[in-house]
């Protein structure tokens, strides 16, 4: 599990390798990641967009940018959390992800909240 806190936003990440959605003989490894965003602030915030950097174990990187997460741009009230699960596929048994969420405060101010770098790792893999 990875965790980061920036300003009043805490982001926790848990990952899981899904063997039944992976094709190991074809170098396709599928992982899910569950993100919990906790708003420790005194005002609501809205998650506007995401920017991911996904890296395989050979150092090859690609980026994913888009509005919201899993089709939503959730509003997270003060003291509340928002959790979602998504997935990614890489071509090596291990890799990393990191990124940022673009957030908007209740007052209309935009800010970035850093997503902690986390590992994607197929079980029983040494690196």
pLDDT tens figures, 53-79: 999 999 999 999 999 999 999 999 999
Residue 126 in domain: no
Helix (H, G, I), strand (E, B) or coil at 77: coil
Is 90 exceeded by the pLDDT of residue 126?
no
Task: Provide the residue range defining the domain that includes 105.
Answer: 2-119
Burial (CB count within 10 angstroms: exposed 0-12, middle 13-18, buried 19+), residue 82:
middle
pLDDT at 47: 98
**CB 45, CB 75: distance < 8 Å:** yes
39 occurs within a structural domain: yes
What pLDDT, on the 0 to 100 scale, is given for residue 34? 98
The residue assigned the tokens 């009230």 is 77
Q: What is the CATH number of the domain that holds 24?
A: 2.60.40.1470
Task: Count helices and strands (H / E) in the chain.
Answer: 0, 9
Task: Return the pLDDT at 45.
Answer: 97
Burial 49-62 (b: 16+ CB within 10 A, else e): bbebebbbbeeeee
């Amino acid at each position: 599990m990875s965790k980061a806190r920036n300003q009043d936003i805490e982001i926790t990440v848990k990952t899981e390798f899904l063997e039944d959605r992976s094709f190991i003989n074809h170098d396709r490894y599928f992982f899910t990641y569950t993100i919990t965003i906790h708003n420790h602030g005194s005002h609501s915030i809205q998650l506007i967009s995401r920017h991911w950097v996904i890296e395989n174990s050979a150092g090859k990187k690609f980026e994913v940018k888009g509005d919201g997460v899993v089709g939503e741009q959730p509003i997270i009230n003060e003291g509340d959390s928002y959790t979602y699960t998504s997935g990614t596929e890489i071509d090596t048994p291990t890799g990393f992800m990191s990124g940022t969420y673009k957030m908007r405060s209740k007052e209309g101010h935009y800010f970035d909240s850093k997503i902690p770098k986390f590992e994607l790792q197929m079980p029983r893999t040494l690196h």
